[in-house]
């Protein structure tokens, strides 16, 4: 007697129902940002290349430094992999830092990777706000007072 022949439909049904579960656990790779091509970056030499030419060659930067006297552009790119519901894992991160001198010419180029990054510690303090601290009941009663016309100058 052969045992596998009894429920052939059951085996197919179990395999068919498990297939979406297995496919749902596939990792997703996400590319964020736009890092310029390495060949184009190699063409750039500090000196007489202006900001407009850099914009034409590399495109718009991801971020621009607005603090301080120096003008710095950042081209940021990151590739992450997410598996199911877990936190995304950074596979690759690159930052191209383009610095300009006071006359808007290319001063320096620097490429950073994920190893050059650092984790920032979050501050747990809460910024105090001054004023009335209303409870839920106080907010509800305050809304009734606002719409009853008690503050309307025509009723006074």
Say whether pLDDT at 1 is over 50: no
Write the pLDDT tens digit of every residue in 15-24.
777 777 766 6
E strand residue ranges, 41-117: 63-65, 71-83, 89-100, 106-113
Q: Which two tokens mark 73? A: 């552009």
The average pLDDT across 33-54 equals 87
Q: How far apart are CA 116 and CA 74, in angstroms?
A: 15
Domain 27-115, what architecture?
2-Layer Sandwich (3.30)
Question: Sign of the CA dihedral 16, 21, 27, 30?
Answer: positive
- From residue 54, give the alpha-carbon distance in Å to each of 64, 107, 132: 13, 12, 53
Query: Domain ranges in the chain?
Result: 27-115
- Check residues 129 and 71 and name the one with the higher pLDDT: 71
Bridge-partner residues for 28, per DSSP? 82
Q: How far apart are CA 29 and CA 81, in angstroms?
A: 4
Write the pLDDT tens digit of every residue in 65-86.
877 777 899 999 999 998 878 8
The model's confidence at residue 156, banded by pLDDT at 50, 70 and 90, is low
pTM: 0.60
Q: How far apart are CA 28 and CA 88, in angstroms?
A: 9
Per-residue buried b or exposed e for 4-30, using 16+ beta carbons within 10 Å of the residue's own CB? eeeeeeeeeeeeeeeeeeeeeeeeeee
Residue 120 three-state SS: coil
Instruction: Give residue 98's pLDDT.
Output: 92
Give the residue among 72, 73, 113 at the shortest CA–CA distance from 94.
Answer: 113
């Amino acid at each position: 007697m052969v045992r596998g022949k009894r429920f052939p439909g059951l085996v197919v049904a179990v395999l068919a129902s498990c297939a979406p579960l297995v496919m749902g656990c596939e990792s997703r790779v996400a590319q964020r940002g736009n890092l310029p091509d390495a060949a184009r970056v190699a063409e750039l030499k500090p000196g007489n290349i202006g900001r407009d030419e850099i914009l034409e060659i590399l495109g718009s930067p991801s971020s621009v430094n607005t603090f301080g006297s120096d003008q710095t552009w950042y081209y940021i790119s990151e590739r992450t992999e997410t598996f199911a519901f877990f936190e995304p894992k950074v596979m690759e991160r690159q930052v191209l830092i383009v610095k300009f001198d006071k006359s808007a010419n290319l001063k320096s180029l620097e490429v950073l990777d994920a190893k050059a990054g650092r984790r920032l510690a979050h501050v747990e303090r809460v910024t105090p706000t001054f004023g009335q601290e209303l409870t839920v009941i106080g907010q509800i009663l305050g809304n009734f007072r606002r719409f009853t016309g008690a503050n309307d100058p025509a009723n006074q």
